[in-house]
Amino acid sequence: MLTVNELFAGIGAFRKALINLNIPHKIVGISEIDKFAIASYTAIYGNTRNYGDISKIYKLDYADLWTYGFPCQDISIAGKQKGLIREETRSGLLWEVQRLLGMAALYDELPKYLIMENVKTLVSKRFMPDFQKWLDWLNSCGYNTYWQIMNAADYGIPQHRERVIAVSILKSIDIGFDFPKPIALNLTLQDLLEKNVDKKYYVDPEKIRAIIPQIINKELSNTIRRGGEVLQINTNGILLP
Protein backbone atom coordinates (compact mmCIF):
# COMPACT_ATOMS: atom_id res chain seq x y z
CA MET A 1 0.00 0.00 0.00
CA LEU A 2 1.30 3.44 -0.98
CA THR A 3 1.83 5.77 1.98
CA VAL A 4 1.35 9.49 1.31
CA ASN A 5 2.13 12.89 2.79
CA GLU A 6 -0.12 15.48 1.15
CA LEU A 7 1.46 18.94 1.52
CA PHE A 8 -0.57 22.09 0.79
CA ALA A 9 -3.47 19.67 0.83
CA GLY A 10 -6.33 22.04 0.04
CA ILE A 11 -9.45 19.91 -0.35
CA GLY A 12 -7.45 16.80 -1.23
CA ALA A 13 -7.19 16.77 -5.04
CA PHE A 14 -4.19 14.42 -5.04
CA ARG A 15 -5.97 12.08 -2.66
CA LYS A 16 -9.04 12.10 -4.90
CA ALA A 17 -6.84 11.14 -7.87
CA LEU A 18 -5.51 8.12 -5.97
CA ILE A 19 -9.08 7.11 -5.16
CA ASN A 20 -10.25 7.57 -8.75
CA LEU A 21 -7.33 5.46 -10.00
CA ASN A 22 -8.06 2.73 -7.44
CA ILE A 23 -4.53 2.96 -6.04
CA PRO A 24 -4.43 1.46 -2.53
CA HIS A 25 -3.00 4.12 -0.25
CA LYS A 26 -2.83 5.46 3.26
CA ILE A 27 -2.52 9.15 4.09
CA VAL A 28 0.17 9.49 6.73
CA GLY A 29 -0.57 13.18 7.15
CA ILE A 30 -1.49 16.42 5.44
CA SER A 31 -0.25 19.98 5.81
CA GLU A 32 -2.91 22.66 5.53
CA ILE A 33 -3.70 25.88 7.44
CA ASP A 34 -6.73 27.32 5.65
CA LYS A 35 -9.72 26.67 7.90
CA PHE A 36 -12.17 26.40 5.01
CA ALA A 37 -9.96 23.95 3.12
CA ILE A 38 -9.54 21.89 6.28
CA ALA A 39 -13.31 21.85 6.84
CA SER A 40 -13.87 20.73 3.25
CA TYR A 41 -11.13 18.08 3.44
CA THR A 42 -12.65 16.70 6.63
CA ALA A 43 -16.16 16.70 5.15
CA ILE A 44 -14.92 14.70 2.16
CA TYR A 45 -12.49 12.26 3.80
CA GLY A 46 -13.15 12.38 7.53
CA ASN A 47 -10.66 13.30 10.23
CA THR A 48 -7.08 13.19 8.95
CA ARG A 49 -3.87 13.93 10.78
CA ASN A 50 -2.77 17.49 9.98
CA TYR A 51 0.87 18.45 10.52
CA GLY A 52 -0.25 22.10 10.35
CA ASP A 53 1.81 25.04 9.08
CA ILE A 54 4.54 23.66 6.80
CA SER A 55 7.00 26.31 7.94
CA LYS A 56 6.71 25.02 11.51
CA ILE A 57 7.05 21.30 10.79
CA TYR A 58 10.35 19.91 12.06
CA LYS A 59 10.14 16.58 10.23
CA LEU A 60 7.55 14.57 8.33
CA ASP A 61 6.97 10.93 9.11
CA TYR A 62 8.05 8.63 6.32
CA ALA A 63 5.76 8.21 3.32
CA ASP A 64 6.42 6.66 -0.10
CA LEU A 65 4.91 9.66 -1.88
CA TRP A 66 4.87 13.38 -1.12
CA THR A 67 2.52 15.62 -3.09
CA TYR A 68 3.14 19.35 -3.08
CA GLY A 69 0.91 21.71 -5.04
CA PHE A 70 2.52 24.75 -3.41
CA PRO A 71 0.81 28.19 -3.46
CA CYS A 72 0.69 29.83 -6.88
CA GLN A 73 -0.34 33.36 -5.88
CA ASP A 74 3.10 34.90 -6.34
CA ILE A 75 3.79 33.39 -9.75
CA SER A 76 0.29 33.44 -11.25
CA ILE A 77 -0.54 36.04 -13.91
CA ALA A 78 -3.50 36.94 -11.69
CA GLY A 79 -1.15 37.96 -8.85
CA LYS A 80 1.67 40.45 -8.38
CA GLN A 81 4.29 37.90 -9.47
CA LYS A 82 6.66 38.54 -6.58
CA GLY A 83 8.19 35.13 -7.15
CA LEU A 84 9.45 32.20 -5.10
CA ILE A 85 11.21 34.15 -2.38
CA ARG A 86 12.15 32.11 0.66
CA GLU A 87 10.38 33.25 3.86
CA GLU A 88 8.74 36.19 2.06
CA THR A 89 6.15 35.03 -0.45
CA ARG A 90 3.51 32.33 -0.31
CA SER A 91 4.98 30.71 -3.41
CA GLY A 92 8.32 30.75 -1.59
CA LEU A 93 6.92 27.98 0.61
CA LEU A 94 8.33 25.64 -2.03
CA TRP A 95 11.64 25.95 -0.20
CA GLU A 96 10.01 24.52 2.94
CA VAL A 97 9.55 21.33 0.93
CA GLN A 98 13.28 21.47 0.22
CA ARG A 99 14.01 21.84 3.93
CA LEU A 100 11.79 18.89 4.83
CA LEU A 101 13.34 16.73 2.12
CA GLY A 102 16.75 17.62 3.52
CA MET A 103 15.58 16.52 6.94
CA ALA A 104 14.22 13.29 5.47
CA ALA A 105 17.61 12.66 3.85
CA LEU A 106 19.35 13.02 7.21
CA TYR A 107 17.15 10.23 8.57
CA ASP A 108 17.49 8.14 5.38
CA GLU A 109 13.75 8.56 4.82
CA LEU A 110 13.52 10.23 1.44
CA PRO A 111 10.20 9.45 -0.26
CA LYS A 112 10.35 7.29 -3.34
CA TYR A 113 8.18 9.67 -5.33
CA LEU A 114 7.25 13.34 -5.44
CA ILE A 115 4.42 14.91 -7.43
CA MET A 116 4.12 18.66 -7.92
CA GLU A 117 1.39 20.72 -9.58
CA ASN A 118 1.39 24.45 -10.27
CA VAL A 119 0.44 27.12 -12.78
CA LYS A 120 1.96 27.31 -16.25
CA THR A 121 3.86 30.51 -15.46
CA LEU A 122 6.20 28.49 -13.23
CA VAL A 123 8.05 27.58 -16.42
CA SER A 124 7.79 31.03 -17.99
CA LYS A 125 10.90 33.04 -18.83
CA ARG A 126 10.52 34.97 -15.57
CA PHE A 127 10.33 32.01 -13.20
CA MET A 128 12.05 29.19 -15.09
CA PRO A 129 15.43 29.97 -13.45
CA ASP A 130 13.91 29.29 -10.01
CA PHE A 131 12.19 26.14 -11.25
CA GLN A 132 15.46 24.96 -12.81
CA LYS A 133 17.21 25.61 -9.49
CA TRP A 134 14.60 23.36 -7.87
CA LEU A 135 15.08 20.64 -10.48
CA ASP A 136 18.86 20.82 -10.07
CA TRP A 137 18.53 20.45 -6.32
CA LEU A 138 16.24 17.44 -6.69
CA ASN A 139 18.80 15.91 -9.03
CA SER A 140 21.55 16.41 -6.45
CA CYS A 141 19.26 14.88 -3.85
CA GLY A 142 18.94 11.69 -5.91
CA TYR A 143 15.81 12.24 -8.02
CA ASN A 144 15.07 12.11 -11.71
CA THR A 145 12.29 14.60 -12.48
CA TYR A 146 9.90 14.47 -15.42
CA TRP A 147 7.75 17.52 -16.05
CA GLN A 148 5.19 18.63 -18.58
CA ILE A 149 2.54 21.30 -19.13
CA MET A 150 -0.81 19.52 -19.16
CA ASN A 151 -4.22 20.87 -20.08
CA ALA A 152 -7.35 19.58 -18.35
CA ALA A 153 -9.17 19.77 -21.71
CA ASP A 154 -6.85 17.03 -23.01
CA TYR A 155 -7.92 14.65 -20.25
CA GLY A 156 -11.69 14.68 -20.32
CA ILE A 157 -12.49 17.96 -18.54
CA PRO A 158 -14.23 20.67 -20.61
CA GLN A 159 -12.03 23.48 -19.33
CA HIS A 160 -8.87 25.06 -20.73
CA ARG A 161 -6.72 24.75 -17.61
CA GLU A 162 -2.99 24.39 -18.13
CA ARG A 163 -0.80 23.25 -15.27
CA VAL A 164 2.80 22.14 -14.81
CA ILE A 165 3.02 18.61 -13.44
CA ALA A 166 6.38 17.34 -12.20
CA VAL A 167 7.00 13.74 -11.16
CA SER A 168 10.23 12.97 -9.30
CA ILE A 169 11.45 9.41 -8.77
CA LEU A 170 14.47 8.25 -6.78
CA LYS A 171 17.19 7.29 -9.24
CA SER A 172 17.76 4.02 -7.42
CA ILE A 173 14.28 2.78 -8.41
CA ASP A 174 13.56 4.83 -11.54
CA ILE A 175 12.68 2.82 -14.65
CA GLY A 176 11.42 5.83 -16.62
CA PHE A 177 8.15 7.70 -16.71
CA ASP A 178 5.73 8.65 -19.48
CA PHE A 179 2.93 11.14 -19.04
CA PRO A 180 -0.49 9.87 -20.13
CA LYS A 181 -1.46 10.61 -23.71
CA PRO A 182 -4.37 13.02 -24.32
CA ILE A 183 -7.83 11.53 -24.69
CA ALA A 184 -10.81 12.66 -26.72
CA LEU A 185 -13.02 15.29 -25.09
CA ASN A 186 -16.60 14.04 -25.19
CA LEU A 187 -18.14 16.36 -22.60
CA THR A 188 -19.20 19.98 -22.56
CA LEU A 189 -19.59 22.21 -19.52
CA GLN A 190 -23.35 21.81 -19.84
CA ASP A 191 -22.98 18.07 -19.27
CA LEU A 192 -21.42 18.71 -15.85
CA LEU A 193 -23.70 21.45 -14.53
CA GLU A 194 -26.43 20.45 -12.09
CA LYS A 195 -29.90 21.01 -13.48
CA ASN A 196 -31.53 21.71 -10.11
CA VAL A 197 -29.57 23.87 -7.69
CA ASP A 198 -30.80 24.81 -4.22
CA LYS A 199 -31.52 28.54 -3.89
CA LYS A 200 -29.16 28.73 -0.92
CA TYR A 201 -26.26 28.58 -3.37
CA TYR A 202 -27.38 31.71 -5.21
CA VAL A 203 -26.28 35.19 -4.13
CA ASP A 204 -29.14 37.44 -3.06
CA PRO A 205 -29.51 40.33 -5.58
CA GLU A 206 -29.77 42.76 -2.65
CA LYS A 207 -26.36 41.60 -1.40
CA ILE A 208 -24.90 42.13 -4.85
CA ARG A 209 -26.23 45.69 -4.91
CA ALA A 210 -24.80 46.26 -1.44
CA ILE A 211 -21.24 45.37 -2.44
CA ILE A 212 -21.16 47.40 -5.67
CA PRO A 213 -19.94 50.56 -3.89
CA GLN A 214 -17.04 48.55 -2.44
CA ILE A 215 -16.04 47.38 -5.90
CA ILE A 216 -15.89 50.88 -7.30
CA ASN A 217 -12.41 52.34 -7.04
CA LYS A 218 -12.86 55.27 -4.68
CA GLU A 219 -9.36 56.54 -5.39
CA LEU A 220 -10.61 57.50 -8.85
CA SER A 221 -13.48 59.46 -7.26
CA ASN A 222 -16.00 56.98 -8.57
CA THR A 223 -15.08 57.52 -12.21
CA ILE A 224 -14.28 55.10 -14.98
CA ARG A 225 -13.08 55.69 -18.51
CA ARG A 226 -14.61 54.53 -21.77
CA GLY A 227 -12.20 55.46 -24.51
CA GLY A 228 -11.31 59.09 -23.85
CA GLU A 229 -14.60 59.81 -22.06
CA VAL A 230 -14.82 59.98 -18.25
CA LEU A 231 -17.97 58.36 -16.88
CA GLN A 232 -19.41 59.13 -13.45
CA ILE A 233 -20.88 56.44 -11.20
CA ASN A 234 -22.92 57.02 -8.08
CA THR A 235 -22.59 55.05 -4.84
CA ASN A 236 -25.18 52.53 -6.05
CA GLY A 237 -23.04 51.75 -9.07
CA ILE A 238 -25.42 53.54 -11.44
CA LEU A 239 -23.99 55.40 -14.40
CA LEU A 240 -24.74 59.11 -14.12
CA PRO A 241 -25.78 61.22 -17.12
Q: Given pLDDT bands bounded at 50, 70 and 90, which one contains residue 216?
A: low
The secondary structure of residue 239, as a DSSP letter, is: B
The secondary structure of residue 199, as a DSSP letter, is: G
pLDDT at 227 exceeding the cut of 60: no
Mean pLDDT estimate for the chain: 88
Beta strand segments in 134-228, E = 143-151, 162-170, 223-226
Residue 44 CB: number of other CB atoms within 10 A? 13
Measured distance CA(222)–CA(233) in Å, rounded: 6
pLDDT at 220: 46
- H or E stretch including 116? strand 113-119
Q: With H, G, I as helix, E, B as strand and everything else as coil, classify residue 194.
A: coil
pLDDT at 225: 47
Let me know how long the chain is: 241
Measured distance CA(92)–CA(75) in Å, rounded: 10
pLDDT at 52 exceeding the cut of 50: yes
pLDDT tens digits for range 64-102: 999 999 989 989 888 888 988 888 899 999 999 999 999
pLDDT at 214: 67
- Percentage above 90 pLDDT, the chain: 68
Question: Domains of the chain, with CATH numbers?
Answer: 2-190 (3.40.50.150), 199-232 (no CATH)
Contact 171, 127 (CB under 8 A): no
pLDDT at 239 exceeding the cut of 80: no
Contact 237, 217 (CB under 8 A): no
Active-site amino acid positions: 72
pLDDT tens digits for range 125-152: 999 999 999 999 999 999 999 999 999 9
